[in-house]
Structure 1
Amino acid sequence: MSRRVCFLLKVRADRIEEYRERHAAVWPEMLDALSAAGWHNYSLFLRDDGLLVGYLETDDFAAAQAAMAATDVNARWQAEMADFFESLDGSRPDEAMKPLTEVFHLA
């Protein structure tokens, strides 16, 4: 059964426009890697103040994260994206994605 995963991150105010531009042209090999790793129906929503809401569906989030962590393209993408975020405390953005607890779903 597919699990719905939602997470929050904070994009630096001075990098919001560039973050939007980067995600308008995500590398094709990154898109392929996400799909191959089991990330489905993946969306990012960005508020004007930098609040980023991510949503995806996957069978096993830990396995999907591990599969991405094992790819070279993900390492390159995360290195380029790290400076866009606040409060990562030395983590890569993909390591800072902590799933929120789902409290309601209308099927």
Structure 2
Amino acid sequence: MKRYCLTLDLKDDTSLIAEYEAYHKSVWPEVLDSINGSGIIGMEIYRYDIRLFMIMETTDDFSFENKAAMDADNVKVQEWEQLMWKYQQPVKGAIAGEKWVLMDKIFQL
């Protein structure tokens, strides 16, 4: 099993943040199927103010490249991603078009 931690910011608008959280209480089944079918076995998203923090646990053979290729061919996932971009904004230092940015682990106990 592998663990990845990623970050992303939301737009600083309380009504948009509330909408974003409401969508995540009932994520579309096609999006959940895509997540489950890609080798992701656990996922949690936390929020502090506008900052999001995602923890993903995956199978050892999971790859971001394969997940991106699967998503590119999935109309409903693309629709979800486009909708979510209404609420999201890149963190400082993100590459153009990059959403979730992989974080570096700096400590472990």
TM bin (shorter chain): 0.7 to 0.9
Provide the aligned C-alpha RMSD in A: 2.0
Unpaired runs of 5+ residues, structure 1, are none
* Paired letter, 1:21: A
- The worse-fitting range, judged by mean Cα deviation, of 67-76 and 34-43 is 67-76
Match of residue 23 from structure 1: 24
TM-score (norm 2): 0.78
Paired with 2:74 and 2:23, the residues of 1 have a C-alpha distance of 19
Instruction: Give the percent of matched residue pairs that are identical in Structure 1 and Structure 2.
Output: 27
Residue by residue, what CA displacement relative to the aligned partner does 1:26-54 show, whole Å, maximum 9, x if unpaired? 0112111110111221111111x211001
What does residue 75 of structure 1 align with? 78
Give the unaligned 5+ runs of structure 2.
Answer: none
Answer yes or no: is the 8 Å Cα contact 1:37–1:68 preserved in 2: no
TM-score (norm: length of structure 1): 0.80
Point out the structure with the larger strand share.
2
Instruction: Number of aligned residue pairs: give it.
Output: 101
Q: Which aligned pairs between 1:1-107 and structure 2 lie closer than 5 A?
A: 2-14=1-13, 15-47=16-48, 49-58=49-58, 59-87=62-90, 91=97, 95-106=98-109
Moved over 4 A (4+): none
- Write the distance in 2 (CA, Å) between the matches of 1:84 and 1:53: 15
Q: Report the Cα distance in structure 1 between the residues aligned to 2:79 and 2:89, rounded to whole angstroms.
A: 19
More helix by share: 1
Q: CA deviation at 1:17?
A: 0.7
